[in-house]
Chain A
């Protein structure tokens, strides 16, 4: 009996980060659907992730990989300051995508910086679907 309880607690502890991650993404995607989005696709997210957008002021071509690199399991580097950015892939960084407020904050900032506008709910849901798969 005691062994069972210990095993149970261990299982919950191991599963916790994944549960919260799935929860945070599911919660946000549900909100985006209520705003009129369709189904979300990881492929759609990947296209936005890699697409380059020219910055109107500097002409610099910007995409997500500029700071986060092409390999989501690797650390990135802030384009301006050079400060390291922890990997985006939840498989190597379980802390990622667990906090809805933080996700929304960074999507807003980084969509504006990269695309020059806020992302649509569809785009945000697709990006999250893409990131979740890594």
Chain B
């Protein structure tokens, strides 16, 4: 009996050590320097992840010139403004027949940042506070904060990246909705560690 208790005790200690290892490993992978969220993040609340694009129409229409940005990367107000002005889409013409554009707008609004209560969308909408929503993902406060330390030579002057809006140039799993730091590979520079 006493022997069994000893075994049980050893097992419990082993499990505890194992779990601690997991937590630490996960912490090392996450890059957030926002102190509030370590434990919540481990529980999955604010990992830099987002749902994959699930609309073939959106993927086809909006993904032909740039990556099909996940709808949760911007709040509804931004999508609404953007879809109302496709004729001048950041200097490009991206006009669509009404039939397609209204379906796409519907998809965007249903999955906009404030509609999702976890991961990247949540952090993006929280970062906006009460301020007017920018039209560009790269101008949301959360995005600016996450990318502020990256030198221009790695992005703007890097022919394989060109712009911070080319997410998948460096975030190797961007299309799967994962933007974790350990997945970053900057072309010509490799891993990024801040």
Contact = CB atoms under 8 A, between A and B. Distances in A.
A105 B57 CA distance: 14
Main secondary structure on A side of the interface with B: helix
A78 B166 CA distance: 12
Interface centre among B65, B162, B166 (most CB of A within 10 A): B65
Contacts of A34: none
A82 B166 contact: yes
Contact of B96 (A82, A83, A105, A113): A105
A51 interface: no
Contact of B93 (A81, A83, A101, A112): A112
A40 B66 CA distance: 33
Nearest to A101: B97
Contacts of B65: 78, 80-81, 83
B95 interface: yes
A110 B93 CA distance: 7
A80 B93 contact: no
Contact of A80 (B67, B92, B97): B92
A81 B95 contact: no
Interface in B70-101: 87, 90-97
Closest CB pairs A-B (n = 6): A109-B93, A113-B93, A81-B66, A112-B93, A82-B162, A78-B65
Given A80-B92, A81-B163, A109-B93, 4 more contacts: A80-B90, A81-B166, A82-B166, A112-B93
